[in-house]
Structure 1
Amino acid sequence: MAAATSKKAMRFLSQFGAFILTRFGFWNSFSMLMLFAERADVKRKPDIQVPYLYADLAATVLCASFMSFGVKRRWFALVSAIHLALSTYVTYASGQVHYGDWLKVRMYSRAMAIIGGYLVLASGAGEVYRQKLRTRSLQSTGQVFLGIYLICMVYTLQHSKEDRLAYLDHIPGGEITIQLLVVVFGVLALSYLSGYYVRVASQILAVLLPLVVLFIDGNIGYWHHTRRVEFWNQLKLIGQNVGIFGAVLILATDG
């Protein structure tokens, strides 16, 4: 009885993770539109030139719609990963908006993690009734992207004054706790990169990420007013971490 209940709980969490990740594209598109509207008020350019921007948004919404309805979910998850990779590269290469180095790490590392999440989804992980064998190579590649994201978290905790202050203001223990988090995130990154104990690492990360979203990312006043991160850019970053949480839930229950 207990085993059956545990199995149902795992299945529910896996479905919940897939629900979050497949619908991430809707929030990403909405937050981007609101961000560029916010910039229009102060006559700042969007990250991508306008004609390409609408094509990018349309592709994102189309892929998210098909994934949400379960239509060729693996295929559209793979397309979403490729599309997001291209979109991130174009954003970085365009040079229309200049970000601080610490903010670039936050933005692009999370985009990489979402790409990894889509690859995990494209592998067949998180499917309730799996009719095809899981593609382990795609899952392993997705785990590597998540590992790189965790390495970036370690880097920011060590070298980014902005991120360190955000953590110091909201966690007890000060510098000792930050160094403990550096060790924890570093070990989790090694797990994802090596492919060993991925489920256990994901279960630990599934506990830590909501706390990061709530207490660190959720401190919008700090990021917006003190660090001058645009309001909708910060909400976009929050949405990305929620999407990463969805990918982690899938790996924690069906990794």
Structure 2
Amino acid sequence: MAAPSRKKALRFFSQFGAFILTRFGFWNCFSMLMLFAERADVKRKPDIEVPYLYIDMGVSVLCASFMSFGVKRRWFALGAAIELAFSTYVSYVGGRVHYGDWLKVRMYSRALAIIGGFLVLASGAGEVYRQKPRTRSLQSTGQVFLGIYLICVVYSLQHSQEDRQAFLNHIPGGEITIQLLVLVFGVLALSFLSGCYVRLSAQILATLLPLVVLFIDGNLGYWHHTRRVEFWNQMKLIGQNVGIFGAVLILATDG
């Protein structure tokens, strides 16, 4: 009886992870619209020029819609990865809005991790009834992107005073705990990059990420008022970490 129950639990978490990730595009577009409305009040520019911005959002919503309904999910997950990679590149090279270096690391590393999550989804991971064999090369590439994201987390904990303080405000043990987290995230990054013990590493990361979202990202007073991160930019970052959690759940149960 234990084995069928375990299979059901793994299937549920895998489907839950896919549910989160396939609907990420909706939240991403909504938070961007709210962010640019927030900027309009103070006459600041969006990251991408307006005509291209709406095209980008349209493609994102289209991919999210088809993925949510399970129509050609692999193809539209790949399309969502390409769309997000293109929009992230355009916003980065455009330089229409100035961000601090520490905030750039937070923003672009999470976007890279979401791209990796879409590649994992495009590989066929997380499908309940897999009619085609999964594409291991896509999954491995997605895992590498998640590993790079974790390297950026390690970098931020070592070199970003803003990120370090956010953790120090909510964890006991001070500097010792920070260094322990650096070690844990570093080992997880090596696991994703090398492809060894990916499922176990994803299970550990799936346990840590909700705590990070709740206590670190969710501290809106710190990020918005103290560090001057725009409110809807921070909400967008929270949504990205939730999307990463969805991708990690897929790998934790079907990696």
Which TM-score band (shorter chain)?
over 0.9
Q: Determine the structure 2 residue equivalent to 1:138.
A: 138
Q: How does 1:152-171 map to 2 (within 5 A)?
A: 152-171=152-171
Q: Determine the structure 2 residue equivalent to 1:195.
A: 195
Superposition deviation, residue 134 in structure 1:
0.4
SS, match of residue 43 in structure 2: coil
- Counterpart of 1:210 in structure 2: which amino acid? P
Superposition deviation, residue 47 in structure 1:
0.3
Q: Determine the structure 2 residue equivalent to 1:215.
A: 215
CA distance in 2, matches of 1:164, 1:190: 22
- Counterpart of 2:37 in structure 1: which amino acid? A
Q: Determine the structure 2 residue equivalent to 1:3.
A: 3
Q: Determine the structure 2 residue equivalent to 1:177.
A: 177
- Per-residue CA deviation, residues 5-43 of structure 1 (Å, 9 max, x unaligned), is 010000000000000000000000000000000000000
Superposition deviation, residue 171 in structure 1:
0.3
CA distance in 2, matches of 1:82, 1:24: 15
CA distance in 2, matches of 1:144, 1:54: 30
Superposition deviation, residue 191 in structure 1:
0.2
Superposition deviation, residue 166 in structure 1:
0.3
**Residue 120 of structure 2 is aligned to residue 108 of structure 1:** no
RMSD between aligned alpha carbons? 0.3
CA distance in 2, matches of 1:95, 1:14: 38
SS, match of residue 239 in structure 1: helix
Q: Determine the structure 2 residue equivalent to 1:252.
A: 252
Q: Determine the structure 2 residue equivalent to 1:127.
A: 127
- Per-residue CA deviation, residues 102-137 of structure 1 (Å, 9 max, x unaligned), is 000000000000000000000000000000000000
Normalising by structure 2, what TM-score? 1.00
- Per-residue CA deviation, residues 34-82 of structure 1 (Å, 9 max, x unaligned), is 0000000000000000000100110100000000000000000001101
Q: Determine the structure 1 residue equivalent to 2:148.
A: 148
- Per-residue CA deviation, residues 165-219 of structure 1 (Å, 9 max, x unaligned), is 0000000000000000000000000000000000000000000000000000000
SS, match of residue 46 in structure 1: coil
Question: Unpaired segments of 5 or more residues in structure 2?
Answer: none
Superposition deviation, residue 160 in structure 1:
0.1
Q: Determine the structure 1 residue equivalent to 2:227.
A: 227
CA distance in 1, matches of 2:116, 2:207: 19
CA distance in 2, matches of 1:50, 1:25: 18
Question: Unpaired segments of 5 or more residues in structure 1?
Answer: none
Superposition deviation, residue 88 in structure 1:
0.2
Normalising by structure 1, what TM-score? 1.00
Matched-pair identity in % = 85
CA distance in 2, matches of 1:2, 1:184: 31
- Counterpart of 2:127 in structure 1: which amino acid? E
CA distance in 2, matches of 1:47, 1:154: 26
Superposition deviation, residue 99 in structure 1:
0.1
CA distance in 2, matches of 1:253, 1:95: 39
